[in-house]
Amino acid sequence: MFDSRKINKFLIEKLRNSFLLIDKVNEKPEKQEPALPLPLTFIAYGKFLRAEFEVPHEMFPAELIKWLSLQVISQKMYWSERDASYEVAGIGYADILLSNAGLFDKINNRLGINTGNNGRTQNPENQCLPVRYYGAIAFNASDKIDEDWKVFGNSCFFVPMLELINS
């Protein structure tokens, strides 16, 4: 039987330790000592500092959708490949964009991606960024927006505060 409290406790402890480590790295030592390197689990991209860590197999929820349904936070997202070979469950918002105007420039800026005059991405490392925005854009921006969806405007893209990935 899956115990949601067990994985949530594990995640809270990992995040707490991550923030304590960030504080320690940012401290100004009284005497000059070599700087503490950030572990590889910390990745800085643009305006994001992402902490990544493995969840032990025995703690990882067999069904992410079930774990998601047990969370009390109201902002939730779920995405899956059709064959369920890759699925993501997320809660909270680390960032949210609600406007079409300059949407992709805003996302690129937040991820630290530069685009040249030709509009092509100039990413010297030429690697896939681990920070993902999820969302949607209206097919026709001039269509009338239903009252229930007005808060989202013509587009809504967000980065979950916490993301569980099963791949």
Rounding to the nearest 10 degrees, give the CA dihedral for residues 66, 69, 72, 78.
100
pLDDT in tens, 33-79: 555 444 434 555 556 666 677 777 888 888 889 889 988 889 999 99
Sign of CA dihedral 5, 52, 69, 159: positive
Q: What is the pTM of this model?
A: 0.63
Task: For residue range 90-144, list pLDDT tens digits in order.
Answer: 988 888 877 766 777 777 777 776 655 444 444 445 454 577 888 887 777 777 8
Return the SS3 of 65: helix
Give residue 34's pLDDT.
52
Whether the per-residue pLDDT at 31 is higher than 70: the answer is no
Residue 10's pLDDT is what?
Answer: 81
Task: Compute the distance between CA of residue 163 and CA of residue 52 in angstroms, rounded to an integer.
Answer: 10
The DSSP output letter for 14 is H
